[in-house]
Amino acid sequence: MIGTGNDYRGQVLAATDIVELIGRTVALKRRGRNYIGLCPFHQEKTPSFNVKPEKQYFYCFGCKASGTAIDFVMKRDRVEFLDALRLLGEQAGIEMPQFGGSPQKSGEKQVLLDMQSAACAFFEKLLSHPEQGLAARQYLEQRRIDAESIKRFQIGLAVDSWDAMLRALGRKFTAAQLEQGGLAKPRQNGQGYYDTFRNRLMFPIRDENSRIIAFGGRVMPGSQDAAKYLNSPETPLFSKSRSIFGIDLARQKMVESRTAVVVEGYTDVIVAHQFGISNVVSVLGTAMTEQHVSMLRRFVDRIVLLFDADAAGDNAVDRALAVFLGQPVEIAIATMPPGLDPDEFVLDRGAEAFQGVADSAVDALSYKWKQLARDFEASDQNLTGQQKAVEAYLEVLGSARGAGPVDAIRWGQALSRVHRLTGIPVEDLNRRFKPRRQPTASSPIPGPAAAQFAPAEPARVTAQDRAERWILGILLLEPHRWHEAQQGVHLEDFANERHRRLAEKYWNHQRDEGEPVFNQFLASLEEAELVELAVTAVEEVEALPDVQQVLQEAAAYFERTRRVRDEQKLVASSQRKELDEVELLRKLSEKRRKADLWRT
C-alpha cells in the first residue's frame, strides 16, 4: 500500500508508457522523436495530435487537448480523475490507496469483478462437461462456431437448474453479493434466491480492458422460455446503454481501420471475428445511444450500423439520424440481403462479401433521404403526398435537433437536401424550427461547429504575454534553469493572472520538492486551463532556436519593465507630493483671506 496520493500518482505515471497507452486508441506514426496521429477528441483529416515520449504528455494543435496519461484516460473515457488514476493503476499492477469521498470503494468493485470472473469460469466448465455440455456444444457446432472462438469469447453454459451457480459460488460470495452482481435473484414467494441464468448459452460481456462486467444468455433450443436473449440487470459494473459486446477484441482493428461495424447479436460478432473481420461489435440488441457512440468514437471515425433487412425500420433509422446529427463521427447504415443474418451471410458468402456490404453503407442522413425520396416517388407527384413526405422528414430532423446539440454543418446539409428536392429556401426551412441561442465567444461549442463561431481576429499577444509564456515554457522544459532564472524573474513580474497562478505553483514545487518531472507536475495541476497553458508554453519554446538566448532576453525584458514600473511609481509619488503641497498652500491662503475679512 502506498502512503500518499501524490506518491501513488507519481508511481502510476512512471509505470505508464503514454505512447503505448494512446496507441491502443490512436493509430500513431513516429515522426522524429515524437508520434503523431488523428486526434480522438475532434474530427480531422490531417494529423495534429502529438505524443511526446520524452516528457510523457500529449498535445493536439487542432483542438488544444493536452495533458498526461491520466488526462487522456479522463477525456477518452469521460471519467473523473480518481477513476482514471485507478484504471491506470490496475493496468500497472499498483494497488491504489483508499482516498476519502468515493461512494464505491475499490474493494467492493473488485469483489464484483472477481464474482463475474468466477461465474465465467463456472459456465465454461459446464460447457466442457462431457454430459452436461453436450447439447450446447452440438448447438455451437451447428452454428459453425469453432473451438478457438469458444475459447476467445469465453462462451459457457448455465444448466437447467434453479441454484447450480448459487451452490458453486456460495462458498466464496454471499447470496446478497451475487444479487448485487446480477447473478442471483430473490424468490418472490418465500425466502432465498435462485440463479438469474438457467438453461442458456452464456456470453461474457467484457469492458475494453477485457474485464468481465456482465453476461448475455441465449436460450437453449427446445426451451419453453419466451425470452430468446437475457442480459444481466443493471449493476455497479454494467449498464446496457454504455456497454459494447466484443469491444476488447475489436479495439485494435477499429483503431487500424478507423471503422466499427455494429451488429445486433452475439453470434454475429463471434462469427465475424472468426473470419478475421475483427472490427465488429454489438450494442446488446438495444438502440445505439450517445454513450455507445462516445465510446466508439475514441477508436473510430466511422460507425456502420448493419441492420437485418427486416429490422431497418423507421424508428431505428430515425434514432441513428438523431445520433448522427449530434455526434462528431460519421454514422452510416447498411442492410443485409433479405432472409440472412450477419453471421449466416459471413458463413455462406465469406469475409470479402461481408466487407463489401459494410463498405457500401451510406451515412444516416442519406439513408433517411432515400426513404423520403421513395415516399415522394410513391406519391406519383401528388402534391398532398409530397407535402406529407417532406413534413415527415422535417419532423424527424426537428426531433433530432431537439434531442441535444446538433452539428451545424450537418444540419445545413440536411436542409440543403430538402431544398434541392422541394425548392423551399433554406432560410424558410430554418424558420420552421425554434431559434437556438447563438453561441458566444465565451460559450464552448462542441465538435467542428466551433470554428464557425470563432472570433474573426485572434486576441493580440503582447510582448509581456509572450515573455511570460516563454519563461514558463523554458522552466517547464528545462527545470534545471530555475535557479538561474529566479535571479532575474520574480513572481510579481507575471502580469497575466493565469500565468502568475502557474508560476506560483511552479515556484512552490521547486522550493518544496525540487525539480519537477513534467508529466507529474501536469498531473498535480487541478485546473484544466493551467494544464493547457503549461503544454502550449512548452510547445512554443520547443520551436525556438536558442532557449538560453530567449531566457536572457525575457529576463532582461522583465528587468526593463520593473525599472519602468518603479520610475512610474516615483513619478506618481512625486506628483502626489506636489499636489499635497499645492493643496496646503491653497488652504493657508484661504485661511488668511478669511482672517483679513474678519478684521475688516
pLDDT at 191: 84
For the chain, the 3-state helix, strand and coil shares in percent, each to the nearest 5, are: 55, 10, 35
Greatest Cα pair distance, the chain, in angstroms, is 133
In this predicted structure, what is the pLDDT of residue 513? 80
258 three-class SS: coil
For residue 37, the surrounding DSSP H or E stretch is: strand 34-37
- 29-31 vs 34-37, strand pairing mode: antiparallel
Predicted pLDDT of residue 161: 92
Cell of 556: 532582461
pLDDT recorded at residue 575:
58
Closest Cα partner for 169 from 223, 131, 120? 120
pLDDT at 453: 25
Mean pLDDT per block of 10 residues along the chain (600 residues) reads 60 89 88 89 84 90 88 82 86 72 58 94 96 95 95 96 93 93 89 93 92 94 84 91 92 86 93 96 82 83 82 66 74 87 93 94 82 67 67 73 65 75 76 50 31 34 81 87 80 87 88 82 83 84 80 82 71 59 63 53
State residue 407's pLDDT score: 66
Q: How far is CA 598 from CA 586, 588, 593, 594, in A?
A: 19, 15, 9, 6
Distance CA 280, CA 253 (A): 9
Looking at residue 469, its pLDDT comes to: 86
Report pTM. Answer: 0.62
At residue 439, the pLDDT reads 37
For position 590, what pLDDT does the model report? Answer: 66
Backbone angles phi, psi at 393, to 5 degrees: -65, -45
Q: Residue 548 to residues 329, 462, 516: CA-CA distances in angstroms?
A: 44, 21, 20
- What are the DSSP E strand ranges found in 220-276? 229-231, 259-263
The Cα–Cα gap between 517 and 12 comes to 13
What pLDDT is recorded for position 114? Answer: 92
Question: 233: Cβ–Cβ under 8 A, 6 or more apart, which residues?
Answer: 182, 196
State the Cα–Cα distance between residues 318 and 296, nearest whole angstrom.
20
Q: Mind giving me the DSSP string for 122-160?
A: HHHHHHHSTTTTHHHHHHHHHTT--HHHHHHTT-EEE-S
Task: Name the phi and psi angles at 514, rounded to 5.
Answer: 90, -165
- Check residue 448 and give its pLDDT: 30
8 A C-beta contact, residue 311 and residue 318: no
Residue 443 CB: number of other CB atoms within 10 A? 10
